[in-house]
């Protein structure tokens, strides 16, 4: 079924639990095929049926959003600064069109919603969250002043009660109103309801000052929690601040400022010093210096010369340059990175799934125990009912799992963002969590541990051939090949190919090629091809060897060498230091070359002369060596690695030079092509997991302690509120450490 896509942003929703509810309820709408609510980035990605009306989808989602959180509403415009400076939606005319997520999806219909999104807000851009925070701070200040006056007042008890009631209404009216509205919608076990019951119960048993103080502390804690979440979101957003805002497009010898989405393949663009490169392309100017840290995490400037590929997201440092665009913005490197990272939270880690499920049962269970605590002991023991009711109210305050449902998604999203800052793209929290259990690392050779840049080193003709004739024959045989070996032969030949001389051509994966050139049957490939065709050949050379035969007679060989990456040996050392106990290499290369490279970089386990299907079988044998909880990594870069990447527990692709197929099949992409980044990814994964579990132990530990103390009458509501919002603030602040790795 064909689906349409829509991207929306949430303004005013700070509760992760509310985000989960929105996702669950929206997924049940008839028009929705798939929906993901990204709490960390306040973003909603929706896939809906093509025959559904987009306006209807928006209206239903917005209605759900407002029902779950009265202050929240949806907009199709990305906030100016996520969480801290949200763009207030503006009135849109009936025929206004909008590009819902800033990308051109090439849908047939426009993106107008045909209604106002203003929700009563002014038609201007303001800092919505900052305005809310100032208002909340003012209300808190007024309440503190009235509360302090009530504490110091020594007159009539009725006047003293009136003072506390006024303070309570000022600080608690929004909470009480939200609780009432949620009850009408059947949403009972939310934090507003629980806090309302707890504080009203305190009033009922005569604890007026404490009721006001608890509601005050709760609102202060919520304010700090909102600010902490905003801070975390802002730091995560800053990591992703690589999207170019515009492109200088060449039009009739002049340059016009346009959106990157408006530039087509083949267009010429200008990039001035200090500007971000908006699209992938080829440098037409002589040379310049580029800051690649946005993509690679490496701060060392890179020199690019005429004809070199320049990726979007680079920052031009020295000279104004002209580039020829090779990819549209939708296919550009920077856009793929943004999509990978923003969509990563859709793939939740097992820990996230556990906490989501746990939170559904935790609150009702604690509320049930609170009810039992208020009724059963007084009934059987005859103790003071108000005392047990007070203890039960403490249970209600502690029963919200916000510390967990807020901090854990932020933790995993922060880990993914921190990895991207280092040039490591992790496609989901599940892969980030799996990386911490990595035990075995398996590598492809060409383009992964070696540079993948082949160069013809030696030509050995046989049976009357000379060097030039053998090289020409090899070039024509490899003329349709995109493999690095074939490219290196064509580069060494350096003469235009006359394709009329080629009567037929057949690619033989894992072996080589079969062609008819000038009427002669030519074979070019590895020794397996010679063996298959029963050609007598000589194999006494080092490197990657291309053997050739003409009409069944061996014509000679061409030796091609591939340079080992400077980073490869260091990568093996780093992997062992982070707990990888076994490293293996799988290659289609010959035994002599494979063993030589493995020895130089420190790999003991080598499988060579492998066809693509044999790589999968060899990899599955290696997987048997892992412990039940252990994970096996495979790192590759070529299209022939895609099956193994898909089979691995964690597939890692070399992203800069790697094929699109490998990147699509992989779970992690290394943008710098440095194998040592894998160890960095594992370190980030372990640190993220450490912080996440710190929050889990801390949150549940404090809540459990306060519940136990409260049940025995040894805790008060102040401590209960700390166990709720105080713990949530600390957990969120702890989670923000991850993004600063």
Angle, helices 191-204 vs 208-239, to 10°: value is 160
Pair 689, 433: CB distance under 8 Å? yes
- Cβ-in-10-Å burial (0-12, 13-18, 19+) of 534 comes to exposed
Q: How many CB atoms lie within 10 A of CB 598?
A: 22
Rg (CA), the chain: 32
| Residues paired with residue 554 on neighbouring β-strands, in sequence order | 549
Q: What is the DSSP string of 507-575?
A: EETTTEEEEEETTEEEEEE-HHHHHHTT--------SEEEEEEETTEEEEEEEEEEEEPTTHHHHHHHH
Pair 589, 693: CB distance under 8 Å? no
Grouping H, G, I as helix, E, B as strand and the rest as coil, residue 662 is: helix
Q: Could you tell me which residues come within 8 angstroms of residue 124 by beta carbon, excluding any fewer than 6 positions away?
A: 88, 90
CA–CA dist 230, 303 (Å, integer): 38
Q: Could you tell me which residues come within 8 angstroms of residue 652 by beta carbon, excluding any fewer than 6 positions away?
A: 633, 634, 635, 636, 645, 666, 667, 668, 669, 670, 678, 681
Grouping H, G, I as helix, E, B as strand and the rest as coil, residue 607 is: strand
CA–CA dist 114, 56 (Å, integer): 10
Of 50, 48, 516, nearest in space to 59 by CA: 48
CA–CA dist 127, 212 (Å, integer): 30
CA distances for 522 relative to 65, 338, 472, 495, 546, angstroms = 68, 47, 12, 19, 12
Angle 175-178-182 (CA atoms, 0-180°, nearest 5)? 140
Could you tell me where the beta strands, DSSP code E, fall in 225-267? 247-251, 254-258
Q: How many CB atoms lie within 10 A of CB 440?
A: 25
* Side-chain half-sphere exposure of 187, counting CA atoms within 13 A: 22
Backbone angles phi, psi at 459, to 5 degrees: -115, 125
Nearest-10 Cα torsion for 531, 537, 540, 545: -70
CA–CA dist 431, 206 (Å, integer): 53
Placement of tokens 């919200």 in the chain:
400
Placement of tokens 């993106």 in the chain:
111
Tokens standing for residue 535 = 């050609």
Placement of tokens 């979101």 in the chain:
233
State yes or no: is 444 an active-site residue: yes
> What b-and-e string marks burial along 461-480, b requiring 16 or more CB atoms within 10 Å of the CB?
bbeebeeeebbbbbbbbbbe
| Residue of 444, 589, 637, 673 marked catalytic | 444
- Cβ-in-10-Å burial (0-12, 13-18, 19+) of 624 comes to exposed
| Residues paired with residue 8 on neighbouring β-strands, in sequence order | 44
CA–CA dist 552, 154 (Å, integer): 112
CA–CA dist 205, 385 (Å, integer): 9
Tokens standing for residue 54 = 């987009």
Backbone angles phi, psi at 75, to 5 degrees: -145, 155
CA–CA dist 366, 86 (Å, integer): 36
Which residues are catalytically annotated? 444
């Amino acid at each position: 079924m064909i689906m349409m896509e829509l991207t929306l942003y949430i303004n005013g929703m700070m509760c992760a639990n509310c985000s989960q509810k929105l996702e669950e309820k929206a997924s049940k709408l008839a028009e929705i095929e798939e929906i993901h609510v990204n709490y960390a980035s306040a973003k909603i990605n929706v896939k809906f049926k093509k025959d559904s009306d987009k306006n209807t989808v928006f209206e239903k989602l917005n209605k759900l959003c407002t029902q779950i959180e009265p202050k929240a509403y949806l907009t199709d415009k990305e906030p100016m600064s996520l969480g801290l400076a949200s763009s207030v939606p503006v009135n849109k005319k009936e025929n206004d069109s909008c590009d819902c997520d800033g990308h051109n999806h090439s849908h047939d219909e426009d993106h107008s919603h045909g209604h106002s999104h203003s929700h009563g807000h002014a038609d201007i851009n303001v800092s919505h969250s900052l305005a809310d925070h100032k208002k909340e701070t003012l209300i808190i200040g007024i309440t503190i002043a009235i509360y302090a006056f009530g504490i110091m007042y020594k007159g009539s008890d009725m006047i003293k009660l009136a003072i506390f009631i006024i303070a309570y209404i000022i600080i608690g009216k929004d909470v009480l109103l939200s609780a009432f509205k949620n009850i009408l919608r059947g949403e009972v076990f939310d934090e507003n309801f629980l806090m309302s019951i707890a504080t009203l119960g305190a009033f009922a048993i005569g604890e007026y000052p404490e009721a006001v103080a608890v509601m005050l502390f709760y609102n202060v804690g919520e304010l700090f929690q909102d600010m902490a979440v905003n801070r975390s979101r802002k730091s995560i957003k800053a990591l992703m601040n690589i999207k170019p805002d515009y492109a200088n497009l060449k039009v009739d010898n002049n340059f016009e400022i346009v959106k990157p989405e408006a530039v087509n393949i083949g267009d010429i663009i200008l990039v001035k010093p200090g500007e971000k490169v908006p699209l992938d392309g080829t440098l037409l100017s002589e040379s310049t210096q580029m800051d690649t840290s946005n993509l690679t995490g490496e701060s060392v400037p890179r020199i690019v010369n005429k004809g070199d590929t320049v990726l979007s997201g680079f920052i031009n440092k020295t000279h104004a340059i002209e580039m020829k665009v090779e990819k549209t913005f939708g296919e550009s490197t920077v856009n793929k990175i943004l999509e990978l990272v923003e969509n990563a939270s859709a793939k939740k880690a097992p820990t996230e799934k556990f906490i989501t499920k746990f939170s559904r049962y935790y609150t009702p269970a604690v509320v049930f125990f609170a009810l039992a605590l208020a009724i059963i002991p007084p009934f059987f023991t005859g103790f003071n009912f108000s005392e047990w009711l007070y203890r039960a109210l403490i249970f209600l305050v502690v029963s919200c799992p916000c510390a967990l449902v807020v901090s854990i998604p932020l933790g995993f999203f922060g880990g993914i963002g921190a990895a991207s800052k280092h040039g490591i793209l992790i496609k989901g929290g599940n892969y980030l969590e799996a990386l911490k259990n990595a035990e075995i690392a398996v590598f492809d050779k060409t383009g992964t541990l070696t540079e993948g840049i082949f160069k013809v080193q030696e030509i050995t003709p046989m049976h009357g051939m000379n060097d030039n004739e053998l090289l020409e024959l090899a070039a024509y045989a490899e003329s349709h090949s995109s493999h690095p070996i074939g490219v290196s032969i064509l580069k060494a030949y350096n003469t235009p190919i006359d394709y009329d001389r080629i009567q037929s051509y057949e690619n033989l994966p894992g072996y080589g090629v079969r062609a008819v050139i000038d009427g002669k049957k030519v074979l070019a490939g590895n020794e397996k091809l010679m063996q298959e065709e029963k050609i007598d050949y000589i194999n006494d050379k080092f490197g990657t060897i291309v053997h050739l035969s003409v009409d069944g007679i061996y014509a000679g060989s061409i030796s091609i060498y591939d340079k080992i990456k400077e980073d490869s040996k260091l990568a093996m050392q780093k992997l062992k230091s982070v707990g990888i106990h076994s490293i293996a290499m799988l290659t289609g290369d010959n035994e002599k070359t494979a063993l030589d490279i493995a020895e130089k970089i420190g790999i003991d386990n080598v499988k060579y002369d492998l066809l693509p299907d044999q790589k999968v079988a060899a990899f599955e044998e290696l997987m048997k060596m892992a412990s039940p909880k252990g994970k096996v990594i495979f790192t590759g870069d070529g299209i022939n690695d895609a099956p193994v990447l898909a089979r691995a527990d964690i597939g890692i692709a070399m992203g800069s030079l790697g094929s699109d197929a490998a990147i699509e099949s992989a779970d992690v992409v290394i943008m710098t092509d440095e194998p040592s980044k894998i160890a960095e990814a594992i370190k980030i994964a372990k640190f993220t997991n450490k912080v996440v579990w710190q929050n889990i132990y801390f949150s549940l530990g404090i809540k459990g302690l306060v519940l136990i103390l409260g049940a025995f009458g040894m805790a008060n509501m102040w401590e209960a509120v700390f166990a709720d919002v105080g713990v949530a603030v600390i957990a969120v602040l702890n989670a923000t450490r991850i993004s600063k790795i």
